[in-house]
Amino acid sequence: MQNRAFFADNGTFCINVISSPGSGKTTILSRTVRDLEGGLAIGVIEGDIRTDTDAQKIRAAGAAAAVQIETKGACHLSAEQVTRALAQIPVAALDVVFIENVGNLVCPSAFDLGEQARLVVLSLPEGDDKPIKYPGTFARADVLLINKMDLAEHVDFDMERVISHVRSLRKDIEIFKVSARTGDGMDAWYDWLIHKTKSH
């Protein structure tokens, strides 16, 4: 695919980020940008139906580059939209580009954007049945961030059930339990990201 070859030619690692709305994708990316400033040059392509609110948050966090794609009703990003967005950021100067897809656990998983890895975010308030309801999304993921661990005492979430089911879908998936709000667990995610970025 054109985008994948483009990333390879520029030595840039690309991650497609998929989740339900409200899972904390933007908060995770903003914290990642802030915490890894000076260590990784990070660019973000934001996908939303309307507004550039998330891209503004990413820029405020200190991202090396951030660009917004408004899908104007479409439930996922397309490879062509990503190609156009890439022309607006200095890809060759970046270590990693995150594509924050439209909040949706169905449509985005069916479309290859040229990424080298897929990240799925699942937050505790969403419930522990998401891997059962949307198996294709989790089966195609390389890494899973289980977010909002700071709410563990306040929600009914069977962690063992989730991890067991996700691993039945993809044995080699990396799973990290994090709180983007407090920072707990984020270091393990950063270690994975840095390793993948430097070794891809």
pLDDT per residue as tens digits for the range 32-69: 999 999 999 999 998 876 667 788 899 999 999 999 88
pLDDT per residue as tens digits for the range 151-164: 999 999 999 999 99
Give pTM, 2 decimals.
0.95
Going by their DSSP bridges, the two strands 96-100 and 65-70 should be labelled as: unpaired
Q: What token pair was written down for 177?
A: 């339990």
3-state secondary structure of 14: strand
Q: What domains sit in the chain, N to C, each tagged with a CATH number?
A: 2-199 (3.40.50.300)
